[in-house]
Structure 1
Amino acid sequence: MPQGHTSTRPQLVYLVFGPDTYHQEAQFSIVSALANLRKTPGETLDIQVYSDKAEPYRHLPVTVHLLDAATREAWNQPHGYHFRSKHVVLRQVLAKAPMAVLIDTDTFFHQSPVELFRRIAAGTLLCNAIGATYGADKQCPLFQSLSPLLEARGLADRQMPLLNSGVIGLMQEDAALLDQSIALMDEYYPHARGAYTLEEFCLAVAAYRRMHVNQCTDLIHHYWSRKQLFRAKVQAWLAKHQHAPLSCQALEDVVRVNAQLPKPPALQRLGYKALSLTLPAEQRQFLRELMYGCYNYPNEFDRACASAWWDKALDNANARHSRPLCNDKLQQWFERTGMRLSLGRKHRLVRDSLLKRSQH
């Protein structure tokens, strides 16, 4: 949407800057939106990308708004809280459009993006997911630090539902909700103990008792959990299609980057469990997760998750120990007969990959 231009079409908005990984996520999310848009013939929307780089989107039918560092810094003030900028940019888009949806980059679509806009109406906030109530986890830092302040002002109570803001969708007439959430962020950031979820929490507070809330987990997959595995799938798709992301083959492959974790069949996993019994107890889960990466999946994008599974196995092993495994200890694990026989021809590949990583 060019500067000063008012659009009558729904706006799908991305805010993306920083490492290439985020741009890769955004590219695939956009293509998945376009691939699924074909399910609603005749429907149109605009895609706006607010970014520090235009090059990653040169093959896509989007409008890129280049953001310099000074602008991004201003959007994060007064406390330098970078998630504040999500609400700022959506507020700006809604000044010129009848409705808009801001979506995080770590998403991809199951259905037409038009379906998101069908869940927005006057007085309705669309979010990614409606979660537990505020009082469900009394150990949560945001509960411990903010609940007395919010309850005293009648802004929230223990029954308030928490929201996931991987998607934020509003009508133009309800854009003032974002002014309220921004004001809450600015006021409560000094009390929030650095909680990175303050942004979506303040959105929940602003909407509580004032807005009807819809969710859309059936329309998109938001892979904030197990992120490295899904990023591996996305990167494999980009390696294959980044120069022609809207080709017929590229669009057909979108559906193969699915929301399922790449795990071997149940019988195969039982076999891995039996193999792991030849190892000391502390190494068994490590081996099973390595084997998940070694399995020859029929889906090429699941096969691309091999190194992500191996990295995850090492991360989990480190988490189970009081301190990260040193290279000598890791080498000893890989030299055990049970480990070598279980990994077979991939033993050296897996070992060298993880030893190299543990050195950094």
Structure 2
Amino acid sequence: MSPLLIYLVFGSPTYHAEARFSIASAIVRARQTPSLKLSIRVYTDDPNPYAGLPVELVDFSLARRESLTAPTHYVFRAKHAILLEALQEVSTAVLIDTDTFFRESPLQLFERVMPGQLLCNALGPLYGEIREQPLYQLLAGTLQSKGLADDGMRMTNSGVIGLTQADGAVLQHALQLMDEYYAESEQAYTLEEFSLAVSARVAGLQLAECTDVIHHYWSRKKLFRAKVQAWNAKHWQEPLSEQAVADTLLVTDVLPRPPTATRLAYRMAIRALPVTCRQFVREVIYGCYPYSNEFDAACASVWWEKALDNALEKGADPAEVLGWLDKNVVGKLLGKRRAEVRKHLMHYCKVNG
């Protein structure tokens, strides 16, 4: 069987939309290396979003989910369980989170999956460098006394997990660690990837990362989701049409910001404003900039919301922030879009209390 790329998708429509674009990006980028015969499997509670995509669908209903997350019902336990299941059928498999898309051909991903090596999305800090975090304070003493971890253990990001069949036991051990330490870790959200790092250390696996091949947008998620949502809205019916393929390449990992010279000009234009409102105005302007890339332009409302959220976190109240839009220099910079920004933020405030 061909190298297997696996997605686990359930719950919110947002996750399905993310997965749909990630899969499309894998297929489009795979065309750059025709030698790769790629198989894609989606474990999901809803098959409908994957119409038009050449994928194998596997049921992941509530009953299936409960069986794979027992006994603790820690939801991310299912990632290791389904990857282990797949490795009983294929020699090489990679599981990838939904909030990802491909920068390069998946061939480069699978070239890094080899016996004795764990492929993860990115290498993290050393265990001893996170002494202030709960996973160290709660578990380090126990794990170190058992010889399972030390301060030199490298942490991993499991947005991507790639293994060969020969190293499947690493997943089994990680599952055991999750079950054993779930309560002791106070139900840590990241216990899954931590357990993988511990298990890989015990097995003596080398670690490889793939940030150059995969963009995992766990940071600045709202901005990248806006790009992905715009692509889905445009290409829901035909995700692999000629235009959809072309547009897939336009959804980039670049944050949508005006050019450097323009940003400096904005800073100069607002320098007379009170310091308290400059960041808000600057971020609103970033959203209003006329980007030539339609998927960057789709991030406008996210910039505006981010600007408001940041101002509120610093102690401003909504009425004060909206009042900043009335300043003359702001009106000149926003032009006709000022009314649009105000309307959107008033609605955002209402919805979010």
Asked if TM exceeds 0.5, the reply is yes
CA contact (8 A) 1:17 1:23 kept: yes
For 2:254 and 2:19, the matched residues in 1 are separated by: 19
**TM-aligned CA deviation for residue 42 of structure 1:** 3.0
Deviations along 1:220-276, one digit per CA (max 9) or x if unpaired, are 110000011111111111111121111122111111100100110111111221232
Residue ranges of structure 2 left out of the alignment (5+ in a row): none
Alignment pair present for 1:277 and 2:271: yes
**TM-aligned CA deviation for residue 330 of structure 1:** 3.0
Q: Identify the match of residue 235 of structure 1 among 216, 229, 237.
A: 229
For 2:115 and 2:42, the matched residues in 1 are separated by: 25
Q: Does the residue aligned with 2:159 lie in a helix, a strand or coil?
A: strand
Could you tell me which amino acid in structure 1 is paired with residue 35 of structure 2?
A: G
Name the counterpart of 2:298. 304
**TM-aligned CA deviation for residue 108 of structure 1:** 0.6
Alignment pair present for 1:33 and 2:31: no
Which range moves more in the overlay, 97-106 or 184-193? 184-193
Alignment of 1:210-359 (within 5 A): 210-321=204-315, 325-359=316-350
**TM-aligned CA deviation for residue 110 of structure 1:** 1.2
Deviations along 1:36-65, one digit per CA (max 9) or x if unpaired, are 111111320210000000000011000111
**TM-aligned CA deviation for residue 74 of structure 1:** 2.4
**TM-aligned CA deviation for residue 173 of structure 1:** 1.4
**TM-aligned CA deviation for residue 217 of structure 1:** 0.6
Name the counterpart of 1:122. 115
Q: Does the residue aligned with 2:273 lie in a helix, a strand or coil?
A: coil
Could you tell me which amino acid in structure 1 is paired with residue 65 of structure 2?
A: R
For 2:184 and 2:345, the matched residues in 1 are separated by: 40
Distance 1:276 1:191, change over 3 A: farther
Name the counterpart of 1:52. 45
Alignment pair present for 1:172 and 2:165: yes
Q: Does the residue aligned with 1:246 lie in a helix, a strand or coil?
A: coil
Could you tell me which amino acid in structure 1 is paired with residue 249 of structure 2?
A: V
For 1:145 and 1:320, the matched residues in 2 are separated by: 32
For 1:62 and 1:270, the matched residues in 2 are separated by: 47
**TM-aligned CA deviation for residue 326 of structure 1:** 4.0
Q: Does the residue aligned with 2:123 lie in a helix, a strand or coil?
A: strand
**For this pair of structures, how many residues does the alignment match?**
350
Q: Does the residue aligned with 1:95 lie in a helix, a strand or coil?
A: coil
For 1:140 and 1:211, the matched residues in 2 are separated by: 25
Which range moves more in the overlay, 288-297 or 234-243? 234-243
For 2:255 and 2:319, the matched residues in 1 are separated by: 31
Deviations along 1:287-329, one digit per CA (max 9) or x if unpaired, are 11111100001111111111111111122222222xxx54423
Q: Identify the match of residue 186 of structure 2 among 184, 193, 198.
A: 193
Could you tell me which amino acid in structure 2 is paired with residue 300 of structure 1?
A: E
CA contact (8 A) 2:72 2:179 kept: yes
Name the counterpart of 2:101. 108
Could you tell me which amino acid in structure 2 is paired with residue 341 of structure 1?
A: K
Alignment pair present for 1:14 and 2:7: yes
For 2:347 and 2:299, the matched residues in 1 are separated by: 18
For 2:309 and 2:148, the matched residues in 1 are separated by: 40
After TM superposition, the score normalised by the length of structure 1 is 0.94
For 2:319 and 2:298, the matched residues in 1 are separated by: 28
Q: Does the residue aligned with 2:119 lie in a helix, a strand or coil?
A: strand
Q: Does the residue aligned with 1:64 lie in a helix, a strand or coil?
A: strand
Cα RMSD (Å):
1.3
For 1:240 and 1:173, the matched residues in 2 are separated by: 42
Residue ranges of structure 1 left out of the alignment (5+ in a row): 1-7
CA contact (8 A) 1:16 1:22 kept: yes
Alignment pair present for 1:79 and 2:72: yes
For 2:54 and 2:135, the matched residues in 1 are separated by: 40
Alignment pair present for 1:151 and 2:170: no
**TM-aligned CA deviation for residue 163 of structure 1:** 0.2
Name the counterpart of 1:24. 17
Q: Does the residue aligned with 1:310 lie in a helix, a strand or coil?
A: helix
CA contact (8 A) 2:311 2:321 kept: no
Which range moves more in the overlay, 259-268 or 137-146? 137-146
Could you tell me which amino acid in structure 2 is paired with residue 179 of structure 1?
A: Q
Which range moves more in the overlay, 14-23 or 62-71? 62-71
After TM superposition, the score normalised by the length of structure 2 is 0.96
**TM-aligned CA deviation for residue 166 of structure 1:** 0.5
For 1:114 and 1:314, the matched residues in 2 are separated by: 42
Q: Does the residue aligned with 2:161 lie in a helix, a strand or coil?
A: strand
Name the counterpart of 1:5. none
Name the counterpart of 1:89. 82
CA contact (8 A) 1:330 1:355 kept: no
Deviations along 1:131-161, one digit per CA (max 9) or x if unpaired, are 1111112211111111111111111111111
For 1:81 and 1:201, the matched residues in 2 are separated by: 14
Could you tell me which amino acid in structure 2 is paired with residue 17 of structure 1?
A: F
Name the counterpart of 2:177. 184
Identity %: 50
CA contact (8 A) 2:120 2:161 kept: yes
